[in-house]
Each structure stands twice: as C-alpha cells, then as structure tokens.
Structure 1
Amino acid sequence: MKLIDWRKERQLTLADMASMIGLSGSNPARDLQRFETGERRPPATVVQAIFDATNGEVTPQDMHDCRLGWERQNLAAAE
C-alpha cells in the first residue's frame, strides 16, 4: 500500500504523520511528502518507523516501489 493512501484513509495530515514516525528537522512534513511521492528515498530507520506505525500495511517494498516509480517517470524524462 502506498504511504500517501494509508495516511489519507486515516485523515492524517503530513505533520501528524511526520510526528507519528519521529521525523524532525526544519520541515518534517515536507520531508514526508517527498518520501510519499518517491522524490526522496527515506533512510532505513524511517522506513522501519513507517512499517511500525502502519502495522505493516506500508512495507519497505512499497516504499522502494514508490521511489522506483518516481525515478522511472522523472529521470527518464530528463534524458
């Protein structure tokens, strides 16, 4: 399951979800948004936190597939 779908089904904001998985920094909601779209690859600790927070409904494979989809769409267009 895609993280964005899981989050929206539960009516959580980006900020809510970022807090739930322990993201910190200058803009954790924006960081989460980039992970959801696949624009950025989350660190392994964040992938584990997402897996735990979603009770396994969003898997590391789901996160990988999201990133791979983003790369296929955006990096192929740059060539």
Structure 2
Amino acid sequence: MDNTKITPTSDYFAPNTVNKLKDLYAITTMEHLISIADKLRNPGGFANSIGVGEKEFQAIIQKAKQKIKAPKYSGRKYPTGGL
C-alpha cells in the first residue's frame, strides 16, 4: 500500500479558487499544483486565471513546499534518464 500523503488544495485556497483549479486545470492536490507551478513560465497569468494575485500565489506555493516537502522539479522531461 502506498503511504503517500495527499494534500487537498482546499487546505490552502478558498472554495471558489479550489473549484477553478479543478474545473480549468483538473488540479485537486497541492502536490500536483506544486509540480505544475515549478514548470510555469508565467506564474502571474496562471494565478490571475484562478483569481489569485501573483505574489499571494507564490507565497502559498512556498508555504506548501515547506510543509509538504515535495520533490524539486529538475527541469528534465525524464529526470531519471529513462525514456
């Protein structure tokens, strides 16, 4: 059995923002959002699309990263080298 803890986005965002994340981007967990946030070229545009300011979004992501201890995105498509 997998012991991975799943953190819902509702722990960090208001209900209307959670619904936008779910409806627009199919994001339901903070782990998924952190992974996507690490890859964003325009975090301000993403934040505005879900109704959050860029600085507030960055602060929430940083807080979540510290608490969740999510793995850092390496920037490689296949970080372990496999295809």
Q: TM-score range by the shorter chain?
A: 0.3 to 0.5
> Larger Rg: 1 or 2?
2
TM-score by length of 1: 0.43
Higher relative contact order (CA 8 A, sep 6+): 1
TM-score by length of 2: 0.42
